[in-house]
Amino acid sequence: MKKKIIPLLVAGTALIAGCDKITDATNTSAAKPVIEKADAVAVVNGQYIGKSTLAELEKEIAERSHGQTFPKEKLIEELIQRELLVQDAIQKQLDKSAEIVAQLDSAKKTLLTQADVQNFIKANPVTDAEVKAEYDSKVAGENGIEYKARHILVKTEAEAKKIIAELDKGGDFAKLANKNSLDAKESQNGGDLGWFVAGQMVAPFSEAVAKLEKGKYTTTPVQTQFGYHVILREDSRAQTPPPLDAVKEQLMPYLQRKKVQTMVESLRKQAKVEILVPLIDEPAKAPTADAKATEGQPVAEEVVVEEVKDAAGKTVAEEVVVEEVVEDKAPAATTDKEPETAKSVDKTVAP
C-alpha cells in the first residue's frame, strides 16, 4: 500500500508548533515553555520545534491512520510548514483579530475542562475494591436464566396448527423443522437455537419459552412479526456471569465517569448560577387588530444571515440581508397528489 502523508494542518491538532505564541495573545500571564536546542528537532527563523511536538504528531498520525507510520523527515517538514504559517499569521497580526481570539479562548476552555477531569481522575483513581463491589452488585449478582430451545417458523397459523397436530401424534420435532421451518429448511439444523437469554428474542417468543416446562412444546402457535412459531424448550440453566477479569476493563471507565459526575454535581451545588434566558420557548402571539388592518402591507423586516462558502464548501464570510416580509393574500395552492411516504423496512432478524 502506498503511504500518504497526512495533509498539512491536520484538523484538531492541539500541539501545533508555535501555537504558544498565539496563546499569549489571550493570556499574557501564561508560562511559555522554553525549548532548548538539545530538545529541538528543527529551528525556523530562530524558533525551536521541540522533540515532544514531533512525538505528539507521530502519536496523532498513528491513531488517525490505524498504526501506519510515516518517514520522520516528512513529519518534521510538516511541523516546519506549520511553524512558517504561524509566524506568517502573527506577522499579519491575525492573532489579534476578534475571531481568532474568541476561538483560542474557546479552545483554551476545552483543554482546561479536559485537564481538570484528567487531574481529578489521577488524584481519585478507581480502586480494585470499587471494581469488585460494582462487579458483585451489577454482574455477579444477576440471576438470569438461559434457555435451550428449538422452533419451527411458518407463515400462517394454519400451518403451525398442522405441525402441532403432527407433534401430538409423536412426530419428531427436528425432522418437522427441517421439512417445514423457514429457518431450518436450508440449514437442516432441526430448528436449534442453542442457548440464549430471554432478552435476545422478541417478547412473545421469550415469554412463551419461559412458560414452557422442560421437554414440552407450545400447544398453540406463537405469533411474532416474523410469522408463527412452534417452540420446544429443551433445557434451562442459571446464567453464568463472566469472571471479574473479563469485565474489569469495561467497569473501569464506567466507575470513572460516576466519580467525575459526582465531582461536577458537587461543584454545581456550591456555585452561584443564574440562568439568564427562558428555558421554554414562548408560544407565538395571535395577530392584533392593527396587524390585520394592514394586511398586504409590509409588516416587518426580516434579517437573514447567509453563509458565503468557497469552492471547498467552507464558510468564508457571512452576508446580512434585510428583507421586507409582506403578508400574502393569495390562497394557498392545492394539489390532488398525495404526499409520498417512505416505506418502513423491518430489519429485525428472526430468532
Please, what sign has the CA dihedral across residues 115, 117, 118, 119? positive
pLDDT of the residue at 139: 80
State the average pLDDT for the chain: 79
pLDDT of the residue at 121: 96
pLDDT of the residue at 289: 58
Amino acid letter, 241: P
- What pLDDT band is residue 206 in, cutting at 50, 70 and 90? very high
Amino acid letter, 183: D
Tens digit of pLDDT for each residue in 217-267? 999 999 999 999 999 999 999 888 889 999 999 999 999 999 999 999 999
Question: Could you give all domains of the chain from N- to C-terminal order, each with its CATH number?
Answer: 19-110 (no CATH), 145-238 (3.10.50.40)
Helices (H) and strands (E) in the chain, counts: 10, 8
Position with higher pLDDT, 46 vs 141: 46
Q: Compute the distance between CA of residue 141 and CA of residue 135 in angstroms, rounded to an integer.
A: 8
- What pLDDT band is residue 199 in, cutting at 50, 70 and 90? confident
The answer to whether 17 and 53 are in contact (CB under 8 A) is: yes
What is each CA distance from 255 to 39, 126, 266, 312, 349, in whole angstroms? 39, 7, 17, 43, 34
- What pLDDT band is residue 25 in, cutting at 50, 70 and 90? very low
Tens digit of pLDDT for each residue in 330-351? 444 333 333 333 333 333 334 4
**DSSP bridge partners of 238:** 145
Tens digit of pLDDT for each residue in 87-139? 999 999 999 999 999 999 999 999 999 999 999 999 999 999 999 999 988 88
Amino acid letter, 190: G
